[in-house]
Chain A
Amino acid sequence: MSINWFKYSSPQTFFPLAGRLALGFGALAVLACAAGLYLGFFVAPTDAQQGESYRIIFIHVPAAWMSMFLYVVMAFWAGLGLAFNTRLSGMMASAIAPTGALFTFIALWTGSLWGKPAWGTWWVWDARLTSELILLFLYFGFMALQAAIDDPRRADKAGALLALVGVVNVPIIYFSVKWWNTLHQGASVSLTKAPTMAATMLAGMLVMSFAFWFYSIAAVLLRARCIMLERERSSDWAAQYARGAA
């Protein structure tokens, strides 16, 4: 028996699968979020220097991770779409962009909420803040370009090229900004050395980042379903679904 690797590369077969996956990951996201927030707000100890205000990191750090990671995933789908000319890849890339922009905005917003008590200022022109801000602009550019093009195939390809150019640029932007000015504290979590925070804090943060992962998957799949329906509205299966849903 041979496996059909391309079974789910057509919107018709992927649509129901995406629905089931979105439901599952959505439920997981709710559970992980509840567990993560409980750990973060009730179990994790108060920080010796920063008091309670540090607890924003349970939102801030996972959001910042997701914002960067989602851009890479978006570029991955975009590249796949350009290389193999698959319809679904472009839909996935445009479904990821708003979630990525949302997390970028959350990271910036919570960061400035934390910056006020910790640094005494809402905003500093520091390497990470600035490159996160530019990442937000990159997401906006991607979405604006896709919104300006009426033909969905051209929108997919043009967005794909922009995402790929952007992903090459992100490290360059990061290092140039870092070199320009830096004040942000060093990374608290890294794979190469032991974390400098309490185990419960780390656990809360990791659970929260899983929650954000699950949320992203669920939200992206739901959005992809809407895009699929919109683009394939003239096909039989979409008409059938619309009749069934009505």
Chain B
Amino acid sequence: MVAALRCVIVRDLRLAARRSSDVMTVVLFFVIVVSLFPLGIGAEPKLLRTVAPGVLWVAALLASMLALGRMFAADHADGTLEQMMLGATPLGLVVAARVFAHWLVSGLPLVLISPVLALQFDLSQELLGVVVLSLALGTPVLSLIGAIGAALTLGLRGAGTLLSLLVLPLYVPVLIIGAGAAEAAASGLGGHAQLLLLGAMLIFAGAFAPWAAAVALRISVE
């Protein structure tokens, strides 16, 4: 079973490597959206420092949502998904492996590039660490919740906009706690509580979301 899951992850990563422009599009979207904010609200350093964590979080949330559509669509179109469902490995575990692989190519790059963007907002060193850590804990939760939405909207008309309507309200707690971590750290309270909560959300979503997504896939494909 472990071998099968490793095979799924390696396959997804290889597919992503062959179409690296897809990965780059998400990262570029993230960078551009973040860069638009100073242009829209003004480049006053004090203001930018205050809004930086929220801006980074909202942009990361939108960018990872943009990538969700690709999670199952191509495999659904060419029938690979049905073979995965017929296979001996439990579908929930396969979904978990795929979500992990998807996060590696769509969530992790955002986490890695976020310190550079945070510097544009003149964020201090210790806050920078909190923001990166909160994104590292939070973006996998976004991918896990998003997998349910992606599975539900598989093959529907206007799946992209529908997906955002389904998934964004469910993202709210992650956004609040995630952006709150840096805010609490900035106000001197320390962001530990929020980071622990994000970790709890990650464990909770990691335990249940793949199974819900597996049920959703069976509904969509049957």
A contact residues vs B (CB 8 Å cutoff): 82, 134, 137-138, 140-141, 144-145, 148-149, 154, 157-158, 161-162, 164-166, 168-169, 172-173, 176-177, 179-180
Residues of B within 8 A of A158 (CB): 152, 216, 219-220
Residues of B within 8 A of A138 (CB): 169
Residues of A within 8 A of B216 (CB): 158, 161
User: How far apart sit A157 and B216, CA to CA, in the bound complex (Å)?
Assistant: 8
User: How far apart sit A62 and B190, CA to CA, in the bound complex (Å)?
Assistant: 40
Whether A141 touches B177, Cβ cut-off 8 Å, given contacts A148-B158, A158-B220, A161-B215, is no
A143 to chain B, nearest CB (A): 10
Which residue from A145, A157, A166, A169 sits with its C-beta under 8 Å from B173?
Answer: A169
Bitwise, B167-189 to A at CB < 8 A (1) or not (0) is 01110110011001000000000
22 A-B residue pairs with Cβ-Cβ distance under 8 Å, sorted by A, are A82-B215, A137-B165, A138-B169, A141-B166, A144-B165, A144-B166, A145-B153, A145-B162, A148-B156, A154-B219, A158-B220, A161-B216, A161-B219, A165-B148, A166-B169, A169-B173, A173-B169, A173-B172, A173-B173, A176-B173, A177-B176, A179-B180
- Asked if residues B170 and A149 are in contact (CB atoms below 8 Å), the reply is no
Near A by CB (< 8 A), chain B positions 175-222 give 176-177, 180, 201, 208, 212, 215-216, 219-220, 222
B157 interface residue per 8 A CB criterion: yes
Which residue from B157, B169, B201, B215 sits with its C-beta under 8 Å from A141?
Answer: B169
User: How far apart sit A176 and B222, CA to CA, in the bound complex (Å)?
Assistant: 36
The 8 A-B residue pairs whose C-beta atoms are closest, nearest first, are A176-B173, A137-B169, A157-B219, A141-B166, A176-B176, A180-B176, A148-B156, A172-B173
Whether A161 touches B153, Cβ cut-off 8 Å, given contacts A166-B170, A176-B176, A176-B177, is no
B contact residues vs A (CB 8 Å cutoff): 148, 152-153, 156-159, 162, 165-166, 168-170, 172-173, 176-177, 180, 201, 208, 212, 215-216, 219-220, 222
Q: How many A-B residue pairs have CB under 8 A?
A: 68
Please classify the interface of chain B as helix (H, G, I), strand (E, B), loop, or mixed, using the class held by over half of its residues: helix
Residues of A within 8 A of B212 (CB): 161, 164-165
Residues of B within 8 A of A161 (CB): 148, 152, 212, 215-216, 219
Residue of A nearest to B169 (CB): A137
- Asked if residues B165 and A140 are in contact (CB atoms below 8 Å), the reply is yes
Residues of A within 8 A of B152 (CB): 145, 158, 161-162
A224 to chain B, nearest CB (A): 22
13 A-B pairs besides A161-B219, A173-B172 with CB distance below 8 A are A134-B169, A137-B165, A140-B165, A141-B165, A148-B156, A157-B219, A158-B216, A161-B152, A161-B216, A162-B148, A162-B152, A165-B212, A177-B176
Pick from A134, A157, A161, A168 the residue with the most CB of B within 10 Å.
A161
A54 to chain B, nearest CB (A): 30
Residues of A within 8 A of B153 (CB): 145, 148
Residue of B nearest to A135 (CB): B169
- Asked if residues A176 and B172 are in contact (CB atoms below 8 Å), the reply is yes
User: How far apart sit A165 and B146, CA to CA, in the bound complex (Å)?
Assistant: 12
Which residue from A140, A148, A165 sits with its C-beta under 8 Å from B170?
Answer: A165
A150 to chain B, nearest CB (A): 9
User: How far apart sit A144 and B169, CA to CA, in the bound complex (Å)?
Assistant: 14
Pick from B169, B177, B201, B222 the residue with the most CB of A within 10 Å.
B169
User: How far apart sit A169 and B169, CA to CA, in the bound complex (Å)?
Assistant: 9
User: How far apart sit A29 and B184, CA to CA, in the bound complex (Å)?
Assistant: 49
Which residue from B166, B177, B215 sits with its C-beta under 8 Å from A145?
Answer: B166
Which residue from B159, B166, B215, B220 sits with its C-beta under 8 Å from A154?
Answer: B220
Residues of A within 8 A of B156 (CB): 148-149
- Asked if residues A177 and B148 are in contact (CB atoms below 8 Å), the reply is no
Residues of B within 8 A of A169 (CB): 169-170, 173
Residues of A within 8 A of B172 (CB): 134, 173, 176-177
- Asked if residues A162 and B220 are in contact (CB atoms below 8 Å), the reply is no
User: How far apart sit A178 and B152, CA to CA, in the bound complex (Å)?
Assistant: 29
Residues of A within 8 A of B222 (CB): 154
User: How far apart sit A169 and B171, CA to CA, in the bound complex (Å)?
Assistant: 10
User: How far apart sit A149 and B220, CA to CA, in the bound complex (Å)?
Assistant: 10
User: How far apart sit A166 and B168, CA to CA, in the bound complex (Å)?
Assistant: 12
